[in-house]
Amino acid sequence: MLRAVLLILALLAPAASLAQSLPDPLSDTVSDFAGILPPEVAVQLTDTLAAGRAETGVQVVLVTMARISDHGGAGQRIEDYAKALFNHWGIGDATRDDGILLLVAVEDRSMRIALGAGYPVIWDNAAQRVIDRHVLPDFREGDYIGGLQAGIPATFDLIARPFAAGVTPPPDPASRWQDLAPFAIFAAIAAAMIGLAARRRLGDALVRLRTCPRCGRRSLRRLREILTAPTAQSAGQGLTHTQCSACGWDRTEPVTLPRRAASKGSGGGFGGGSSSGGGATGRW
């Protein structure tokens, strides 16, 4: 009997250890652990997620990380880690299990759209379509903001909104010319959003063109770190790091993160939803 108990405990230990090492969310919409989102872009994406949730009732959560190994995912596939994080946070409604997690691991060069257990397997194709057609083209150019600004609306258009309305996902439109019009509309919207964000990203682009004050090389990059996440009631605090990848020079400046807009309609927080592992993966 004692041996059986010890065996059970040994089997449960890895799962318990993983749960303890998983991070807590920074908010119920955007958790930018990688620090790739300028404050104004984080607010914009937060508003998009909150508005989509108010309209459809579906909670979509964006998480960015440099590497999943930094947040309890060492040695794991991104598919398994995304499922564990989804269930640890309880994304989506517990009754409908309709939550969606967009997990982006920048330095791992991989991402996962994890779907709640309420989505039949056919919705995995819709998730793959979002990744392949709306996110990865920008990611492959190093434009993470553009990919997210295109991918989040597409997640609502192709998954959350039709699922909430009880509509079966459409077939792959690759071989149907008459279905290219919606894709063109999405592309136009994405292009417009990228254009609006161009001014916000100009500073980051100029940093890459400057030379390092220590070594003189053009190897500067700008990273952002959130110290205190903004809420609807108060601004947040963060740091902007300008670093040289060649010699290690680093300049750190404090930044105030603007308050995010309060969501309307559906309440905030996490609803206790779960995932059985469905979804899609992309790599670049």
Answer yes or no: is 18 within a domain: no
What's the mean pLDDT in 7-27? 63
Answer yes or no: is 17 within a domain: no
Answer yes or no: is 211 within a domain: yes
What's the mean pLDDT in 134-141? 97
Number of domains composing the chain = 1
Answer yes or no: is 5 within a domain: no
Q: List the domain range (segments joined by +) for residue 176.
A: 24-262+275-283
Cβ 50 vs Cβ 29: under 8 Å: yes
Task: Supply the pLDDT for residue 175.
Answer: 42
Residue 193 has pLDDT above 80, yes or no: no
Answer yes or no: is 98 within a domain: yes
CATH code of 153's domain: 3.10.310.50
Residue 202 has pLDDT above 80, yes or no: no
What is the pTM for the complete model shown? 0.67
Answer yes or no: is 176 within a domain: yes
- Mind listing the pLDDT tens digit for each residue in 151-166? 999 999 999 999 999 9
| DSSP, residue by residue, the chain | -HHHHHHHHHHHHHHHHHHHHSPPPSSSSEEETT--S-HHHHHHHHHHHHHHHHHH---EEEEEES-GGGGT-TT--HHHHHHHHHHHHT-SBTTT---EEEEEETTTTEEEEEE-TTS-TTHHHHHHHHIIIIIHHHHTTT-HHHHHHHHHHHHIIIIIHHHHTTPPPPPPGGG-GGGHHHHHHHHHHHHHHHHHHHHHHHHHHHHHHSPPTTT--S-EEEEEEEEE---SSS-EEEEEEEEETTT--EEEEEEEEPPPPPP-SS--S--B----S-EEEEE-
What's the mean pLDDT in 50-59? 96
Cβ 104 vs Cβ 144: under 8 Å: yes
- Mind listing the pLDDT tens digit for each residue in 230-259? 655 566 787 888 888 889 898 988 877 665
CA R_g for the chain: 20
Answer yes or no: is 267 within a domain: no
Task: Supply the pLDDT for residue 190.
Answer: 54
What's the mean pLDDT in 107-134? 97
Residue with tokens 């989509």: 52
Answer yes or no: is 12 within a domain: no
Whole-angstrom Cα distance, residue 126 to residue 144?
A: 21
Residue 5 has pLDDT above 60, yes or no: no
